[in-house]
């Protein structure tokens, strides 16, 4: 897959979760990897990563980016009908996101070698009227996620200023299952702290994702680094 423009030029981000027909996930995931993701980028979008979702044997996820909301609409009209072949996706399975702050958008390491590692997305649904407070508290929690075997790939939030239905997403690239096991207590601690403060409208959703062979979001073996120094992760890779 080629990278037509710098990744920071794609600040409109979709996290899409699909449900495949029973037994069809492997074929659908292969089609996304080999055909749909390159076609999507040919239209001017960015295929950040595509994954099989753990704990849901019919689940496929895709992170894709756009330069502007208008580009999202244009590319969607040109592409999404063919992308949904073999997939069923409810509207609630699509989150439209942006970087929480400048520099906190998706920053995948350079592609090198075979797909490795695990991608984790922790999705926090914010209590109405508590968005700013939740963002501040969540960022303090996210700081505890940094450690060996973890690359912070991005901190994202839903578009607009409306609190109703707002969400925060912490996105990380983990070296292996041992790194995931080591990080779970921090995930659980954040859920308890934010929930006890009344900042969450629902328990957090933790997506554990195995990257496809051509996914940009995947562990690079040389990048044994500590987040959030994502520029260092790039250099180390």
90-124 tens-digit pLDDT: 434 889 999 999 878 887 766 666 768 999 999 99
Question: In this structure, what token pair is assigned to residue 28?
Answer: 């659908």
Residue 131 structure tokens: 């968005």
Distance CA 55, CA 104 (A): 28
CA-based torsion, 124, 126, 131, 136: positive or negative: negative
Residue 185: the pLDDT is 96
d(CA 150, CA 95): 24
CB atoms within 10 A of CB 227: 21
Spans in the chain with pLDDT lower than 50: 1-5, 90-92, 222-237
Phi, psi of 66 (to 5 degrees): -140, 155
pLDDT value of position 224: 40
The pTM assigned to this predicted structure is: 0.86
- Tokens, residue 27: 């074929």
- CATH number for 9-236 (one of 3.40.50.970, 3.30.70.100, 1.20.1250.20, 3.90.1150.10): it is 3.30.70.100
R_g over Cα of the chain: 17
- Given this model, what pLDDT does residue 87 score? 61
Residue 22, pLDDT score: 84
Domain boundaries of the chain, sorted by first residue: 9-236
Contact 63, 217 (CB under 8 A): yes
Do residues 165 and 96 touch, judged by C-beta distance below 8 A? no
Burial 173-212 (b: 16+ CB within 10 A, else e): bbbeeebbebbeebbeebbebbbeeebbbeebebbbbbbb
């Amino acid at each position: 897959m080629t990278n037509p423009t710098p990744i920071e030029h794609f600040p409109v981000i979709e996290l899409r979760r699909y449900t495949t027909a029973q037994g069809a996930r492997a074929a659908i995931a292969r089609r996304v990897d080999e055909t749909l993701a390159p076609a999507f980028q040919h239209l001017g979008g960015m295929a950040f990563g595509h994954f099989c979702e753990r704990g849901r044997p019919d689940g496929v996820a895709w992170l894709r980016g756009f330069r502007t909301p208008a580009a999202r609409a244009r590319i969607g009209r040109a592409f999404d009908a063919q992308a949904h072949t073999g997939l069923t996706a409810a509207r609630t399975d699509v989150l439209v996101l942006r970087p929480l702050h400048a520099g906190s958008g998706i920053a995948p390491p350079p592609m090198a070698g075979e797909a490795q590692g695990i991608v984790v997305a922790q999705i926090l649904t914010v209590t109405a009227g508590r968005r700013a407070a939740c963002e501040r508290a969540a960022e303090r929690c996210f700081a505890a996620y940094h450690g060996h075997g973890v690359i912070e790939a991005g901190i994202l939030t839903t578009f607009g200023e409306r609190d109703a239905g707002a969400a925060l997403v912490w996105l990380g690239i983990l070296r292996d299952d041992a790194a995931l096991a080591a990080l779970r207590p921090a995930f659980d601690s954040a859920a308890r702290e934010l929930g006890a403060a009344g900042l969450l409208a629902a328990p957090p959703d933790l997506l554990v994702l195995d990257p496809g062979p051509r996914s940009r979001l995947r562990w690079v073996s040389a990048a044994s680094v500590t987040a959030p120094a994502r520029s260092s992760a790039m250099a180390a890779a």
